[in-house]
Structures are given as structure tokens and as C-alpha cells.
């Protein structure tokens, strides 16, 4: 087993009033998100967060800030990311934290930070919020990867400040938070320039950084602040967001948490440690829901889809970081499917309203989080469930869906317009399109069915994997879970990472497939994490010792 510091349970909820590492300030259409990491406030006490280096706690606050800007501040049209430390923007992920973390923690830390950076790009692409990285000094590794997630990067030209990806030369690992992929595929840096850049610890600065496409502009210290302000204003002017509020305040979720359960308003997590399984149940709305945009804003974080998916998102993160041994998840829904379809109709009708748009894209990101969660998901569709429309995406996102076929007890699933394009996966196409890659005509067939599918019909339509009758149901679903939990967790992780993403690849899937998989490989290698590996030796006496064999 690994010799690493124990990770305490992580909580993912926070609020600007509680931030330790970021300051969020507002000036009309421009928000400024300033990094000012507290050295002594890491998630664990065995490292210090020097030079604006970060750990998961820092990134949880960043993710929260991005989310709140989107929901709580519709008047914000551009965000400046900067640092409050002199001549330091950010030194990247804390190396001592990485060096002392378990493999699984490193993997899940990188996954979450990747999702946060993709959330920045998602806000830019879909919410009308542009991001400008204002680099006042050292911007290394994960610091530059954060800048790469922004729309534009300005770097001070003071003869010293540089952007760099020193992971390979200093640490023997990759810039794994999208760095390599964004350099070649987003900024489209030429391969040989990227190769040079990624192998020199000092990076590039000044005019060369612009000419080689690593940053968009450099300015002398005297002009830097003004140019950032000028450009932020221009970026803000491109937005289609409202010019003022009210926004939707994101209150605390307040789950009731015990050792084996977490009970939220609409979502329940229940863990069976002996079997290494869990059940997640999402309930349909039980009260009438807002139907007009103004009512939705007024309902705020109590509007069912926002509330339910915020809770589901929290459950997914909880499982990933705090429950690594719980490998198999049964996904259930409960309640009135028609109520879900009614909400879907509202979302579809008002999708261009800023708040509805935010809710749809948040659901999209949460479903992507599920796709990227390395646990096996089995949807169980039984009488009384509500796998309709948006909630049917949970069945589509599961590795398999089982649906009880009992003529005596009605049990249906249903699609809505929201299944038709509102929730694309990381691969850029919908779960239905991905599912029916081999029979593309089926996508429109099932979307235009116009009525719910009983078990047999759902099976025939290819919407579920299996539809056992009431005699077989208990045995079949029990056996499937028993078989699944016996399989190698690593093989399942790799298998699911391949089978879930058929079809096209995007920059996003490249980051989670190619880049992350290679990084995870390197994170296991003695050359990185062995006694004399580069990640372990960094900051100590002596140099790493490598096994020189190339694989």
C-alpha cells in the first residue's frame, strides 16, 4: 500500500465570506478574482502553500467563485484573474502536496482542477463571460495552465516575469491540468516551440512569449494595469448578459450527513460499505415549479433542477474524493415523471433567458462530471421512478440501465426536448447521439416518439440494456452488482474511460483521455514517485535518479 499522508474528508461547499485564498471584487460589469493563497491554510498541515501554489482547497474556492459569478452576478460580463502577491501570479499545484498524496488523490485532484478550468471555458463559450488572465509575475506550471483556461493572457514585461511549464524538467511529470493540450490545441503553438517551452524550467517571456503564441500581449509595468483594465472593458462589451441583477444566490445545501448516508432535499446517497456499493436517488419535484423566467429567478436556488443537480454534483464529488472504495453506484429516481417533463418544458421554452441558460449549462456540467467519475453506474428503473427528460440523462450516463418489466405495475421512461441537444457530453455530441452512433436514425425516432416507453418498448428502442420481468428482476440486478464489484477497479476505470466516449474527440476529451491517462501513468512510475523519483526528491538534497529505459 502507498505510504502517504492520510487525506481528511473534503467538503466542497464554500462561500466568498469563507474564502482563505481568493478575493472576489466587483466593479460594474467586471469582476476581479484575485489569488492570494494563505501559506498556512492548506487542506493538510504537512505542506505550506508558498508562492501562490495551490491544493484542492484553493481550487474548491476557485470553482465556487466561478459558479457564483455565473449565478449571483448576471451583471458581470468579464472576469480578470490576477494575483495579490507581488511579482508572483501562481507557482502551480503545490509540489509537496503532490509528493505526499496517494495516487488516487493526485488523480482526483487533477480531475477536479481540470473540471474547474473547463468551467471557465464553458462560462466563456456559453454564458457571455470572458476571462482575462493578468500575469503580474511568475506564472509557472498549474499557474500557467490556469491562465491558459482564460480567453486571453496578458503578461507584464519587466525583464523577469515569464510563463512556464516546468513540470517535465523539474518534476518528471506532465503539465496535466490541460497544459500540454491547450498549448497545442487552444493556443496552437507550433510543436517544436512547445517542445522547447515544456523542457526549459524558465519558460519564455517578453516579445518571444507573444510571437510564439504563449500569451496574447506583454506590456511594461508602467502600462500594465491600464492595458488590463482597457481590455477587460472591451471583453465585457461583447457580452449578452443582463446589465443588472437580481441574480440567483446559491445558499448552502445543508445535507444531513451520517457515516453512510447523505440526505439532501431531493437527493439521497446511501452507502453499503460491506458490498462496496452505494445508491443515489434523485427525486422529482413534488411542488409546482416556476414557469416564467422572473419566477425562476425568484425561486432561485430552490428551483428544482438547480437544487437537485447542485445536490447531485456534491454527491459525486463526495464519492470521488472521500469514498474511493465505493466502486459501484446504483442510480434511482423517484416521484412524478410528469413534473420533470413540465420543468423540462420550462427550461426548453426559456433557454435564452440568462438564468435558465445558466441552469441548463450547470446540469450539463454535472452530467459531464458523472461521465468522468470513475465508478460504475447502474440505473435501476422501477415503478415509481421518474426517468424522464433531464432525469433520463442519468440512465443514459450510466454504464447500463435495467428496467423492470412487470405488466401489473406501470413503469415507463420518457424523453423530452432537453434530451435533444441541451446536455452534450465532453465529446461534443449528446448521450443519445453517442449511444446510437451505429444507428443514427434512432436518435430522432426516440425523440419524436411523443409518449413514454414501457419496459419492452424501451428495450426494443435501445434505450435500456435489459428489461427483466418481476420473476427475474431481483436475481438479475443483484448478480450484476455482485459481478461488477468483484472486478479490478483499475481495469474498470480504464475500460469505462474508453467505452463512455465513443465518437468524436474534442479538446476536452483529449485532456481527460490522452493527457490525463498519460499523467496518471507517470504518476505511478518510479521515476516520478519512487524513493528517488523526481516528484519525491524535489526540494530535498540531491537529484532524482532515473531508470533510463524508455517505454
What part of residues 476-505 is at the interface with a copy of itself (CB under 8 A)? 483-484, 487-505
Provide the minimum distance between the beta carbon of 278 and a copy of itself in the complex, in angstroms, as a whole number.
12
Q: Which is nearer to a copy of itself, 292 or 479 (CB)?
A: 479
Q: How far, CA to CA in Å, does 289 sit from each of 339, 344, 389?
A: 8, 11, 16
Q: How far is the CB of 100 from a copy of itself (least distance, A)?
A: 17
Smallest distance, a copy of itself to C-beta of residue 482, A: 12
Contact call for residue 317 and a copy of itself (CB under 8 A): no
Q: How far is the CB of 496 from a copy of itself (least distance, A)?
A: 8
290 sits near a copy of itself (criterion: CB under 8 A): no
Site string for a copy of itself, 267-286 (x = CB under 8 A): ---------x----------
Instruction: Tell me how far apart the alpha carbons of residues 355 and 282 are, in angstroms, rounded to a whole number.
Output: 22
Residues forming beta bridges with residue 278, ordered by sequence position: 271, 329
CA distances from 65 to 23, 162, 204 (A): 9, 26, 30
Binding pattern for the stretch 374-413 against a copy of itself, x by CB under 8 A and - elsewhere? xx-----------------------xxx------------
Least distance to a copy of itself from the beta carbon of 201, Å? Answer: 10
H or E stretch covering 26:
strand 22-27
- The CB density around residue 8, as the number of other CB atoms within 10 Å, is 10
CB closer to a copy of itself out of 282 and 522? 522
Closest alpha carbon to 277 in 353, 378, 359, 418:
378
Examine residue 213 and tell whether it contacts a copy of itself (CB under 8 A): yes
Least separation in angstroms between CB 156 and a copy of itself: 24
419 binds a copy of itself (CB under 8 A): no
Residue in 335, 325, 217 with CA at minimum distance from that of residue 277 = 325
Give the residue with the Cβ less far from a copy of itself, 293 or 530: 530
Q: Which is nearer to a copy of itself, 10 or 24 (CB)?
A: 10
DSSP result, 141-162 = THHHHHHHTSSEEEEE-SSS--
Q: Which residues, 41 to 80, sit near a copy of itself by CB under 8 A?
A: none
Among the residue ranges 21-29, 54-62, 173-181, 380-388, the one whose residues contact a copy of itself (CB under 8 A): 173-181
The number of beta carbons lying within 10 Å of the beta carbon of residue 352 is 9
Distance in Å, CB of 179 to a copy of itself, minimum? 9
Smallest gap from Cβ 108 to a copy of itself, in A, equals 7
Are 239 and 78 a contacting pair, CB within 8 Å?
yes
* CA–CA gap between residue 76 and residue 29 (Å, rounded): 4
Nearest residue (CB) to a copy of itself, 102 versus 126: 102
Please list every residue from 142 through 171 that binds a copy of itself, using CB under 8 A: 167-169, 171
Q: Cell numbers at residue 531, please?
A: 524513493
Closest CA to 170 of 549, 551, 536, 547: 536
**Interface with a copy of itself in residues 179-198 (CB under 8 A):** 180-181, 183-185, 187-196, 198
- State the residue for C-alpha cell 459558479: 67
Residue 400 CB, nearest distance to a copy of itself (Å)?
A: 4
Compute the least distance from the CB of residue 93 to a copy of itself, in Å: 15
Binding residues for a copy of itself, how many (CB under 8 A)?
95
For residue 549, how many other CB atoms are within 10 A of its CB? Answer: 6
Using CB under 8 A, which of 173, 236, 337, 418 touches a copy of itself? 173
C-alpha cell at 473: 428482476
At closest approach, how far in Å is the CB of 92 from a copy of itself? 15
What is the b/e burial string over 100-130, where b = at least 16 CB atoms within 10 angstroms of the residue's CB?
bbbebbbbbbbbbbbbbbbbbbbbbeebbbb
Give the Cα separation of 363 and 419 in Å (integer).
12
Please list every residue from 322 through 351 that binds a copy of itself, using CB under 8 A.
324-327
Q: Which of these ranges, 231-239, 308-316, 336-344, 437-445, lies near a copy of itself under the rule CB under 8 A?
A: 437-445
Query: Which of 242, 517, 532, 538: binder of a copy of itself (CB under 8 A)?
Result: 517
3-state secondary structure of 366: helix
Q: Rounded to the nearest 10 degrees, how much is the dihedral formed by the CA atoms of 451, 456, 462, 467?
A: 130
Please state the φ and ψ torsions of residue 194, each to the nearest 5 degrees.
Answer: -65, -40
The three grid cell numbers given for residue 234, joined into one nine-digit string: 472591451
Neighbours of 429 (CB within 10 A): 18
Q: Please identify, using beta-carbon distances, which residue of 284 and 326 lies nearer to a copy of itself.
A: 326
The answer to the question of residue 208 lying near a copy of itself (CB under 8 A) is no
Among 97, 247, 434, 481, binds a copy of itself (CB under 8 A): 434
CB-nearer residue toward a copy of itself: 420 or 462: 462
Per-residue burial over 62-85, b = 16 or more CB atoms within 10 Å of its CB, e = otherwise: bbbbbbbbbbbbbbbbbbbbbbeb
Cell of 544: 532524482
Residues 99-118 that bind a copy of itself (CB under 8 A): 102-104, 107-108
Least CB distance to a copy of itself at residue 239 (A) = 26
Min CB(309)–a copy of itself separation in Å: 22
Q: Residue holding cell 474524493?
A: 321
Amino acid at each position: 500500500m502507498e505510504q502517504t499522508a492520510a487525506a481528511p474528508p473534503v467538503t466542497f461547499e464554500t462561500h466568498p465570506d469563507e474564502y482563505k485564498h481568493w478575493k472576489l471584487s466587483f466593479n460594474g460589469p467586471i469582476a476581479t478574482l484575485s489569488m492570494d493563497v494563505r501559506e498556512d491554510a492548506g487542506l493538510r498541515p504537512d505542506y505550506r502553500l508558498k508562492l501562490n501554489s495551490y491544493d484542492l482547497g484553493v481550487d474548491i474556492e476557485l470553482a465556487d467563485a466561478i459558479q457564483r459569478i455565473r449565478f449571483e452576478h448576471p451583471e458581470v460580463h468579464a472576469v480578470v484573474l490576477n494575483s495579490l502577491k507581488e511579482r508572483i501570479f501562481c507557482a502551480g499545484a503545490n509540489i509537496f502536496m503532490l509528493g505526499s498524496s496517494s495516487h488516487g488523490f493526485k488523480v482526483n485532484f487533477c480531475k477536479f482542477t481540470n473540471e474547474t478550468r473547463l468551467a471557465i471555458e464553458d462560462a466563456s463559450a456559453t454564458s457571455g463571460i470572458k476571462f482575462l488572465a493578468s500575469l503580474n509575475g511568475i506564472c509557472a506550471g498549474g499557474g500557467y495552465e490556469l491562465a491558459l483556461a482564460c480567453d486571453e493572457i496578458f503578461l507584464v514585461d519587466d525583464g523577469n516575469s515569464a510563463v512556464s511549464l516546468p513540470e517535465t524538467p523539474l518534476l518528471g511529470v506532465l503539465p496535466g491540468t490541460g497544459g500540454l493540450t491547450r498549448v497545442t490545441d487552444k493556443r496552437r503553438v507550433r510543436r517544436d516551440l512547445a517542445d522547447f517551452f515544456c523542457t526549459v524550467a524558465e519558460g519564455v517571456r517578453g516579445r518571444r512569449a507573444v510571437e510564439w503564441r504563449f500569451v496574447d500581449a506583454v506590456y511594461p509595468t508602467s502600462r500594465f494595469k491600464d492595458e488590463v483594465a482597457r481590455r477587460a472593458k472591451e471583453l465585457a462589451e461583447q457580452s449578452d448578459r443582463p446589465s443588472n441583477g437580481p441574480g440567483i444566490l446559491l445558499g448552502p445545501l445543508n445535507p444531513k450527513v451520517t457515516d453512510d448516508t447523505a440526505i439532501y432535499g431531493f437527493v439521497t446517497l446511501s452507502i453499503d460499505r460491506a458490498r462496496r456499493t452505494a445508491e443515489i436517488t434523485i427525486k422529482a419535484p413534488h411542488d409546482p415549479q416556476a414557469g416564467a423566467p422572473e419566477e425562476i429567478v425568484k425561486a432561485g436556488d430552490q428551483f428544482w433542477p438547480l437544487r437537485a443537480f447542485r445536490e447531485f454534483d456534491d454527491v459525486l464529488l463526495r464519492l470521488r474524493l472521500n469514498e474511493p472504495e465505493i466502486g459501484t453506484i446504483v442510480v434511482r429516481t423517484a416521484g412524478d415523471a410528469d413534473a420533470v417533463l413540465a420543468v423540462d418544458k420550462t427550461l426548453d421554452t426559456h433557454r435564452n433567458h440568462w438564468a435558465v441558460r445558466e441552469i441548463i449549462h450547470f446540469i450539463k456540467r454535472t452530467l459531464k462530471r458523472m461521465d468522468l467519475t470513475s465508478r460504475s453506474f447502474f440505473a435501476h428503473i422501477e415503478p415509481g421512478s421518474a426517468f424522464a427528460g433531464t432525469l433520463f440523462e442519468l440512465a443514459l450516463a450510466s454504464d447500463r440501465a435495467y428496467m423492470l418489466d412487470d405488466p401489473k405495475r406501470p413503469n415507463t421512461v420518457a424523453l423530452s426536448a432537453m434530451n435533444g441537444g441541451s446536455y452534450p457530453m465532453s465529446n461534443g455530441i449528446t448521450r443519445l447521439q453517442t449511444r446510437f452512433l451505429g444507428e443514427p436514425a434512432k436518435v430522432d425516432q426516440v425523440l419524436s416518439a411523443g409518449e413514454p416507453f414501457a419496459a419492452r418498448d424501451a428495450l426494443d428502442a435501445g434505450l435500456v440494456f435489459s428489461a427483466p420481468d418481476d420473476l427475474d428482476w431481483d436475481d438479475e440486478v443483484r448478480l450484476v452488482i455482485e459481478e461488477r464489484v468483484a472486478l479490478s477497479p483499475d481495469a474498470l476505470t480504464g475500460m469505462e474511460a474508453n467505452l463512455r466516449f465513443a465518437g468524436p474527440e474534442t479538446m476536452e476529451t483529449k485532456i481527460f483521455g490522452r493527457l490525463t491517462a498519460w499523467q496518471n501513468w507517470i504518476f505511478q512510475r518510479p521515476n516520478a514517485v519512487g524513493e528517488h523519483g523526481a516528484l519525491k526528491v524535489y526540494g530535498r538534497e540531491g537529484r532524482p535518479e532515473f531508470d533510463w529505459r524508455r517505454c
